[in-house]
Structure 1
Amino acid sequence: MARISFILKDPNSKIATPILYTLTYSGQRVKSTTKQKIKPSAWNKNSKSIKKNRTEYNFVQEELDRIEIIIKSTIADLKKKYNGLPNKNELKNILTTRLFKEDRNLSEMSFWTYFEDFKNKLENKKNTRTGKPISKGTKCSYNQTFNHLKNFERSTGNTVSFLTLSNELYDNLIEYLEKELNLSSNTIGKHIKNIKSLINNAKLERGVQLPLSYQEKYWRVHKREKTANEIVFLSEKELTELEELDLSNNHTMDKARDVLLLGSWTGLRISDIFRIRRENIDLERNVIKIRVEKTDRLVVTPIHPITLKILKKHNFSTPAISAQKVNENIKLVCKEIETLNNEITISELKGGQLKEIKYQRFDRVSTHTGRRSFASNMYRRKVPIQQIMAVTGHKKEKDFFKYIGISKEELSEGLSELFNEWYK
């Protein structure tokens, strides 16, 4: 419950001293000027108001009454609209504006109304860079962020609104995502990135005024780069073993295996693998030409003998299976390969702590493993990096090396091998 009181800045002053108001709420305290002054002798310490016999200060008491009414009204407006109050700095800013300047409009668009509107617009919105519709994955990501924020409000009592954005809210949200939901640092980073994108859109498109307590740089994106040992890819030997498995009795696993192999020998993302049609296949030049969905860039990738075998098997198209089914089944397929049952240790930031978790390699295989396998195997085949990057779309070599999990030791070993060849 909010408590309003008035105090003298210097109760022992021999001359008129400023009157301050104090507002206490939710463990926070706002203290600011009323722009009024009186002599301490005219102040009733018990009632914290002007003494009744000091009629020369009636106009001051009237102003204090006005200030109290406006503070109470502002608090009621804020609670009704936002189901809570902002931090003390933002509340002080709002009260100062309402008390002594033009009335601050508290009817700004609700954060949740804007978020709902933002999600709905994604259905028909196009990527400004590629001109393509927003991907299903991006829409799903924003839905997850929305739901996590709603649950954060319910579980913690924090109010999420444009008015209550603050560094403190960010800290509370991070603590909730880490400790309550046990999300990894990279997943948390994805949600923070979505929230910041939403806030920036609201500011640019709707002119939403953000509070002083929101500092964009403080809302940093959590991300942890994988080490070379944590990156899983399938070697050419493992891919051959995978291709030779007899899955004729399980059509779903067979299709999932074929999709993984296509990614591993073409370097294409799964979204582009699903779009391969007969017109994309140039058998004379032995290449697949396709304009990739993510960047709208034309990619030309060679056709490996296993790729050709799979394309023929599916009538020069891709297997009819969903990405979800592929992810579910390729782990089961990869479990059949002996070396993919080896253990690896992954460091994950969960609940605010870095934990080492053991997995079997097949558990870490996903639809993206194929593309990573292509890049890793081609590099180890000593294919020029620029040629591999032309397929994967990487623009910087340092990003490419992180992607395939090449350590500094391996880079040095590669140079040593060249020296041995050159200077025998």
Structure 2
Amino acid sequence: MILKEHFDHVFERVAKVSSFFEVYDRFTEEKIKLKEWSKSTKKRYKNIKNLLEEFQEVKNYKLTFAKINKKFFIEFTDFCYEYKDHYTNTFSRNVGLFKTFMFWSVKNGYAFNEAFKDFKKPQRVLTRQEALTMDHVKKLHAYNCATISQAKSKDVFVFQCLTGLRYGELELVNKRIITADDCLFLKESKDHSKPAREIPLYKIALEILQKYDYELPLSTNQEQNRVIKVILRDMGYTHEVEFSRNKGVDQNRFVKPFCDRISTHTARRTFVTILRNAGVADKIIMSITGHRDIKTFNMYHQISASNTVKTVNRVFAGL
């Protein structure tokens, strides 16, 4: 029996014979039925399947468990970076998701080939992101938009800047979760193991909620991103900003107007940056945003040039 298992391992015989993508479908079906994945996770694994199917066609590389080896990883890396134009962070995330599937396949007897364990997931690169200042938020709140739909998008974005909520969490906001102390009592949407968060509602945030009878006028994330860019462009925030993207060791630099670098997630980053620059303790901010990992939390803090100049000038003022 031991000898048979040895030969099964050497010749990569599997206990359950199925095609690569049949097993992938069983993997996703199990995770979905066990309610282990959020909506965004389901979408990511669906995208990985599409990516692998496209890789198979473009590279003419028939995917089987026996062929998940060093050659596969070389070709897949080239496909992602060169053909799909993915950057390091996207590639790193996809490699991690793929390896999760492979570990499941081995554990469940669909594969014995463990060459995938040597696939190196590149370290994620911190890309410069933009954040609004308190002055930006004030001007945006006071700005008269050209249309009613723009005004609604503006209000939603300002509300995010003042609460630090993810865009997907805004649909959970209603009158029933507002406490007597004017706080949102919100259960974590991405990780249900996290405790509920109490999010103080600054008076402007509360006024926005009251304006829409406690149901924010939400559109799709994509549409909200588009409209916010248009509003900021109309406000004149078109100065150029530089950022970089990495593909392995290669770094590409890009220049875009400030308004085009703003998205719904900028609002959450803005909230963290404003509070941190004001000297609020990390522990307090993290209790509001729901961050548990300080490394991830630090990625949300964007150091502004004006604050840096003020700090340096204050230090050297005695010279």
TM-score, normalised via structure 2 length = 0.86
Q: Residues 28 and 45 of structure 2 are in contact (CA less than 8 Å); yes or no, is this contact kept in structure 1?
A: yes
Q: Residues 185 and 350 of structure 1 are in contact (CA less than 8 Å); yes or no, is this contact kept in structure 2?
A: yes
Name the amino acid aligned to 1:171: I
Measure, in 2, the Cα distance between the counterparts of 1:109 and 1:220: 27
Measure, in 1, the Cα distance between the counterparts of 2:217 and 2:291: 27
The corresponding residue for 1:249 is 147
Q: Residues 183 and 351 of structure 1 are in contact (CA less than 8 Å); yes or no, is this contact kept in structure 2?
A: no
The corresponding residue for 2:4 is none
- Change in 2 beyond 3 A, CA 1:255/1:217: farther
* Match among 150, 159, 162 for residue 265 of structure 1: 162
Q: Residues 162 and 202 of structure 2 are in contact (CA less than 8 Å); yes or no, is this contact kept in structure 1?
A: yes
Q: Residues 153 and 218 of structure 2 are in contact (CA less than 8 Å); yes or no, is this contact kept in structure 1?
A: no
SS of 2:172's equivalent in the other structure is coil
The corresponding residue for 1:290 is 186
Name the amino acid aligned to 1:278: K
Where do 5+ consecutive residues of structure 1 fail to align? 1-89, 98-103, 128-133
Measure, in 2, the Cα distance between the counterparts of 1:135 and 1:347: 30
* Match among 67, 70, 91 for residue 167 of structure 1: 70
SS of 1:316's equivalent in the other structure is coil
The corresponding residue for 1:68 is none
Measure, in 1, the Cα distance between the counterparts of 2:228 and 2:30: 34
Q: Residues 102 and 116 of structure 2 are in contact (CA less than 8 Å); yes or no, is this contact kept in structure 1?
A: no
Measure, in 2, the Cα distance between the counterparts of 1:392 and 1:357: 30
* Match among 30, 51, 55 for residue 152 of structure 1: 55
Measure, in 2, the Cα distance between the counterparts of 1:346 and 1:248: 30
Q: Residues 275 and 318 of structure 1 are in contact (CA less than 8 Å); yes or no, is this contact kept in structure 2?
A: no
Where do 5+ consecutive residues of structure 2 fail to align? 1-6
The corresponding residue for 1:390 is 287
Name the amino acid aligned to 1:220: K
The corresponding residue for 1:138 is 41
Q: Residues 175 and 352 of structure 1 are in contact (CA less than 8 Å); yes or no, is this contact kept in structure 2?
A: no
Deviations 1:53-97 (CA, angstroms, capped at 9, x unpaired): xxxxxxxxxxxxxxxxxxxxxxxxxxxxxxxxxxxxx9x943xx9
The corresponding residue for 1:378 is 275
Pairing of 1:11-410 with structure 2 (within 5 A): 93-94=10-11, 104=13, 108-127=17-36, 134-204=37-107, 206-211=108-113, 214-226=115-127, 230-247=128-145, 249-251=147-149, 253-282=150-179, 284-296=180-192, 297-338=195-236, 340-350=237-247, 353-406=250-303
The corresponding residue for 1:86 is none
Deviation for aligned residue 1:403: 2.2
- Change in 2 beyond 3 A, CA 1:333/1:210: farther
Q: Residues 179 and 352 of structure 1 are in contact (CA less than 8 Å); yes or no, is this contact kept in structure 2?
A: no
Measure, in 2, the Cα distance between the counterparts of 1:160 and 1:122: 22
Measure, in 2, the Cα distance between the counterparts of 1:312 and 1:215: 54
Deviations 1:322-365 (CA, angstroms, capped at 9, x unpaired): 22321222211222233x31211111124973110111121121
Q: Residues 178 and 350 of structure 1 are in contact (CA less than 8 Å); yes or no, is this contact kept in structure 2?
A: yes
- Change in 2 beyond 3 A, CA 1:155/1:110: same
SS of 2:198's equivalent in the other structure is strand
Q: Say which structure, 1 or 2, has more relative contact order (CA 8 Å, 6+ apart).
A: 2
Name the amino acid aligned to 1:218: F
SS of 1:335's equivalent in the other structure is helix
Measure, in 1, the Cα distance between the counterparts of 2:182 and 2:110: 54
Q: Which moved more, 1:256-265 or 1:342-351?
A: 342-351
- Change in 2 beyond 3 A, CA 1:315/1:401: same
- Change in 2 beyond 3 A, CA 1:280/1:112: same
Deviations 1:201-225 (CA, angstroms, capped at 9, x unpaired): 2222x2223325x141434245212
Q: Residues 255 and 321 of structure 1 are in contact (CA less than 8 Å); yes or no, is this contact kept in structure 2?
A: no
What's the RMSD between the two structures over aligned residues?
3.0
- Change in 2 beyond 3 A, CA 1:319/1:124: farther
Q: Which moved more, 1:184-193 or 1:394-403?
A: 394-403
Name the amino acid aligned to 2:26: D
Measure, in 2, the Cα distance between the counterparts of 1:207 and 1:416: 64
The number of residue pairs the alignment matches comes to 308
Measure, in 2, the Cα distance between the counterparts of 1:218 and 1:353: 19
Measure, in 2, the Cα distance between the counterparts of 1:314 and 1:392: 23
Q: Residues 167 and 219 of structure 1 are in contact (CA less than 8 Å); yes or no, is this contact kept in structure 2?
A: no
Q: Residues 188 and 222 of structure 1 are in contact (CA less than 8 Å); yes or no, is this contact kept in structure 2?
A: no
Q: Residues 178 and 185 of structure 2 are in contact (CA less than 8 Å); yes or no, is this contact kept in structure 1?
A: yes
Deviation for aligned residue 1:404: 0.8
* The structure with more strand, counted as a fraction of residues: 1
Measure, in 2, the Cα distance between the counterparts of 1:254 and 1:208: 54
Measure, in 1, the Cα distance between the counterparts of 2:248 and 2:278: 40
Deviation for aligned residue 1:159: 2.2
Measure, in 2, the Cα distance between the counterparts of 1:304 and 1:105: 59
